[in-house]
């Protein structure tokens, strides 16, 4: 059996990956070894049979693995990968963005580009990299529209959960919620207080120096942040830039680029990213045909008819989080014209947007 090393398995994405490997009884398919940057020599998890944790910075130990799976982040990849690759011929599977646009890398979201992944394996490619979470979720939602070559361009307005920024940010969101509750609890219990009085307290609290915002640098509870990642020269943020370059790489469209752009917004959801898509179709396709194509994307589709009840019950992050379902709904032609399509989608970015593609390509490789 192949020796598979895991780095960053205690982090948020790594923990979800471990959970999925256990749920699917995958650990019996290979010999797992666990690496650490901070707890070398301590007893590892039960999945490793109690083996002591190996040094994630030790190139010689890493080189003993047939496959390495990293959820440790981009800084770790930058520090280790080049030196490791000098003599190591194994397979590198990574959740970080560092290697995504390298020519040697294959981006992985197999329900969308399974054939490209198969070809990469047959050709002996060694680097399999998870794509950006919102890009993966968008393509899972619109797979058959792209495959049928119906799309001229896409404008994606994303509503991204706190978990996309990391565990500490999730905790801070909860702290912000608690802060607002503490400031208004007595007012809410006092039936004589008007909602405008309560709202004034909330507004003052959001601007208070005591408000917990060390990570977000702004209120997220009771508000939103219309900026994610660093600024690009063209005015986009890097998160917005990733949509076009990564989606087209996944779709093997290096010469016939589909323009994709929009605004990425952080919202007060804990987990699962949502997106409102405006799609310019290449031709007028009846909405019934569009709906049929979307419903047949893959087995994880959760289609919401365009009504209030389905939209509320199926398309909310609260209902999707923790599942492999991809919610798609609000599908309609726009008043802009018959070749303009509106739809809304939501998916758990810690699953299809991060851990699940890593798990699936790992199992395919072993």
Active site positions, annotated: 133, 273
| Token duo for residue 173 | 């969101």
Q: Please give the radius of gyration of the chain, using alpha carbons only, rounded to the nearest integer.
A: 22
* Rounded Cα–Cα distance for residues 278 and 269 (Å): 22
Report the SS3 class of residue 334: strand
Report the SS3 class of residue 298: coil
* Rounded Cα–Cα distance for residues 163 and 306 (Å): 28
* Rounded Cα–Cα distance for residues 7 and 57 (Å): 10
Give phi and psi for 328, each to the nearest 5.
-135, 135
| Token duo for residue 333 | 């032609």
How would you classify the pairing of strands 54-55 and 67-70? unpaired
* Rounded Cα–Cα distance for residues 343 and 134 (Å): 15
| Residues 37 and 57 sit within 8 Å (Cβ to Cβ) | yes
| Locus of tokens 């898509």 | 277
Give phi and psi for 261, each to the nearest 5.
-155, 165
Q: Which helix (H) or strand (E) holds 25?
A: none
* Rounded Cα–Cα distance for residues 300 and 179 (Å): 38
| Among the listed residues 259, 278, 252, the one whose alpha carbon sits nearest the alpha carbon of residue 331 | 278
């Amino acid at each position: 059996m192949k020796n598979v090393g895991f780095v960053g398995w205690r982090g948020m994405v790594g923990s979800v990956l471990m959970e999925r490997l256990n749920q699917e009884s995958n650990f019996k398919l290979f010999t797992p070894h666990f690496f650490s940057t901070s707890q070398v020599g301590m007893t590892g998890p039960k999945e490793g049979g109690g083996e002591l944790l190996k040094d994630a910075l030790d190139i010689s130990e890493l080189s003993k693995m047939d496959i390495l799976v990293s959820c440790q982040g981009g800084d770790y990849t930058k520090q280790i990968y080049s030196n490791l690759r000098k003599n190591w011929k194994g397979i590198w599977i990574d959740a970080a963005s560092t290697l995504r646009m390298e020519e040697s890398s294959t981006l992985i979201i197999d329900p969308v580009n399974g054939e490209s992944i198969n070809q990469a394996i047959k050709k002996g490619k060694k680097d399999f990299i998870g794509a950006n979470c919102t890009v993966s979720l968008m393509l899972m939602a619109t797979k058959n529209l792209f495959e049928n070559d119906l799309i001229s361009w896409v404008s994606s307005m994303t509503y991204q959960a706190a978990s996309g920024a990391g565990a500490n940010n999730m905790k801070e969101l909860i702290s912000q919620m608690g802060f607002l509750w503490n400031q208004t609890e007595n007012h809410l219990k006092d039936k004589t207080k008007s909602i405008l009085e309560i709202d004034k307290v909330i507004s003052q609290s959001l601007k208070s120096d005591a408000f917990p915002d060390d990570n977000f640098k702004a209120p997220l509870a009771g508000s939103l942040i219309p900026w994610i990642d660093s600024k690009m020269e063209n005015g986009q943020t890097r998160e917005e830039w990733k949509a076009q370059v990564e989606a087209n790489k996944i779709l093997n469209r290096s010469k016939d680029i589909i323009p994709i752009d929009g605004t990425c917004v952080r919202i007060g959801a804990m987990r699962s990213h949502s997106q409102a898509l405006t799609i310019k179709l290449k031709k007028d396709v009846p909405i019934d045909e569009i709906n049929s194509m979307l419903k047949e994307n893959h087995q994880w589709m959760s289609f919401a008819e365009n009504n209030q009840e389905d939209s509320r019950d199926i398309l909310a992050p609260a209902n999707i989080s923790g599942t492999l379902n991809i919610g798609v709904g609000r599908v309609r032609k726009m008043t802009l014209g018959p070749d303009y399509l509106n739809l809304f989608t939501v998916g758990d970015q810690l699953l299809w947007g991060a851990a699940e593609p890593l798990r699936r390509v790992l199992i395919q490789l072993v």
